[in-house]
Amino acid sequence: MRPETLESTKRAVNYTPYHPRWYRPRVSVYWWLGEWHYLKFILRELSSVFVAVTVIETLMLIRALRSGPDAYARFLECMRNPWVVLLNVVSLFFVLFHTITWFNLAPSAMPVRMAGKRVPDALVAAPSYVAWLVISVFVAWLVLR
Amino acid sequence: MVEKITLEVARYSPERDDKPYFQQYEVPVHKEWVVLDALNHIKDTQDGSLTYRWSCRMGICGSCGMMVNGEPKLTCATFLSTYVRSGSKIRVEPLRYFPIIRDLVTELTDFLAKLKKVQPWLIRKEEQPLSQGEYLQTPEQVDCYKAYSMCINCTLCYAACPVVGLEPIFVGPAALALAQRYNLDSRDQGAPERIAQLAHPDGIWGCTFVGECTRVCPKHVDPAGAIQQYKLAAVVSWLKSFVLPRGQQS
């Protein structure tokens, strides 16, 4: 938006001063606590922090693997700490929540049209779930074989 | 005997009150009665000073939107019987995040200014002469934008959107969906003009995809979807500005 347009917008939405008796409700800092839908949204936003934690841990794991058996053993020892286990359990919950909610939101951000008709949302989300399953099975096979 | 239910209605008189308060009214519950019928019953038989907007009472005019038990609803489409079953009182308040003029009446000047801002009309670089007749569209072309054209400006989506409450300057769901409605119209050529206005933190980038606008929309317009698609289009047009020579970007 151009600066002059922004200024005119600000002027347009500033409530006019000659109606001082309008009651303007204030939004509470805790607006997200009252309703499950809002709370779910905030949890979804918060989940990004735990996604970052998971990514950092994975990078640390790879670095430990590269540095040799001693470093890997030290990394595993660190991971056995009850606080780290707790953090990982919470992270797992949030990463799953993050993944599922974003997969489900994808169809409304990217509607697919085929033969002039919109493809049902479930069909648009399905490939993400299938890819998730296939990659998970492959990683499980890689680790457990 | 006709069953009764209590309505807790938000009252605010600018001449008398510093802030809204709740007044209780008891109304009969008839099977076919909606919350708006109950309000009309109160106004006709109990308290003529109760003020609210309504017109068509059939979900077309979009004037009777209110918070019913904390949810933005068209009161003409919200049956009393639903709440009798849950056994609770019905709390009726003006739509959230709007300034309140009186009782259940909200102030809409700001919303109307935002609607106008998105240029919700067909923009043509060059109008074709009248002799060529109307601009024709195939059913598929109509289908592209039809859902977004169903908006009745009831502002329920504004009352559902926390960004509207926290950032009053945010253009908001209905207006952005309306912009997208014209962008997707095969007769329109105004998308670049609109994107210059709306690809901004107060426009599409203000939306954090809470998704509540879509959930509460009584006409299934899906403003949240429209805004996310608009974001994608804005990114594509931004990328094109690097790749394509000037003149081929729109």
Residues in chain A: 145
Residue A1: predicted pLDDT: 45
Tell me if B178 sits within 8 A of B120, measured CB to CB: yes
pLDDT of residue B242: 86
For A30-41, what is the mean pLDDT? 93
Chosen CATH of B109-243 out of 3.40.630.30, 3.50.50.60, 1.10.287.110, 1.10.1060.10: 1.10.1060.10
Measured between alpha carbons, how far is A43 from A40 in angstroms, rounded to an integer? 5
Q: Report the pLDDT averaged over residues A94-106.
A: 93
Contact between chains at A9 and B215 (C-beta distance less than 8 A): no
Could you tell me which chain B residue has the CA closest to the CA of A40? B210
| Residue in B with minimal Cα distance to A5 | B197
Assess A1–B contact: CB distance below 8 Å, yes or no: yes
Per cent of chain A over pLDDT 90 is: 63
Please report the pLDDT score of residue A23 as a whole number.
Answer: 87
Residues in chain B with pLDDT values less than 70: 1, 86-87, 246-250
Average pLDDT, chain A: 86
The span from the CA of B38 to the CA of B44, in Å, is 10
Determine how many CB atoms are found less than 10 A away from the CB of residue A80: 8
Residue in chain A closest to B141 (alpha carbons) equals A116
Tell me what pLDDT residue B243 has: 87
pLDDT band at A13 (very low <50, low <70, confident <90, very high): very low
Q: How far is CA A133 from CA A129, A136, A137, in A?
A: 6, 5, 6
- What is the Cα Rg of chain A in Å? 24
User: Mean pLDDT, to the nearest integer, of A1-27?
Assistant: 60
Q: Are B142 and A117 in contact (CB under 8 A)?
A: no
Residues of B in contact with A102 (CB under 8 A): none
The per-residue pLDDT for A7 is: 56
Give pTM, 2 decimals.
0.88
Q: Within the 47-66 window of chain A, which residues sit less than 8 Å (CB to CB) from chain B?
A: none
**Domain B4-106 is of which CATH architecture?**
Roll (3.10)
Helices within chain B (DSSP H only): 35-45, 80-86, 109-117, 139-146, 156-160, 162-166, 173-183, 191-198, 212-216, 223-243
Residues B140 and B184: their CA atoms lie apart, in Å, by 11
**All domains in chain A, ordered by first residue:** 28-109+117-144 (1.20.1300.10)
Write the pLDDT tens digit of every residue in B154-206.
999 999 999 999 999 999 999 999 999 999 999 999 999 999 889 999 999 99
**All structural domains of chain B with their residue ranges:** 4-106, 109-243
pLDDT reported for residue A26: 87
- Least CB-CB distance to A108: which of B99, B168, B222? B222
Give the residue ranges of DSSP H helices in chain A: 3-13, 36-66, 69-80, 82-109, 121-144
